[in-house]
Amino acid sequence: MSKFTPTSKANPCLSCSDTKGNCRHQDIEEIILCMSANSSRKGEIVESGYKVIDFTQDGLWAVLKLDNQQWAEE
Please name the amino acid found at residue 21.
G
Of 50, 57, 59, 58, the closest CA to residue 26 belongs to 50
Q: If you write DSSP's letter for every residue of 16-70 in order, what string do you get? A: T---SS--EEETTTTEEEESTTTTSPTT-EEGGGEEEEEE-TTSS-EEEEE--PP
Instruction: Give the span between the Cα atoms of 12 and 5, in whole angstroms.
Output: 10
| Whole-number pLDDT of residue 53 | 94
pTM across the whole model: 0.83
* pLDDT per residue rounded down to tens, the chain (74 residues): 578 999 999 999 999 999 999 999 987 768 999 999 999 999 999 988 899 999 999 999 999 998 876 544 44
**Domain-wise residue ranges, the chain:** 5-59
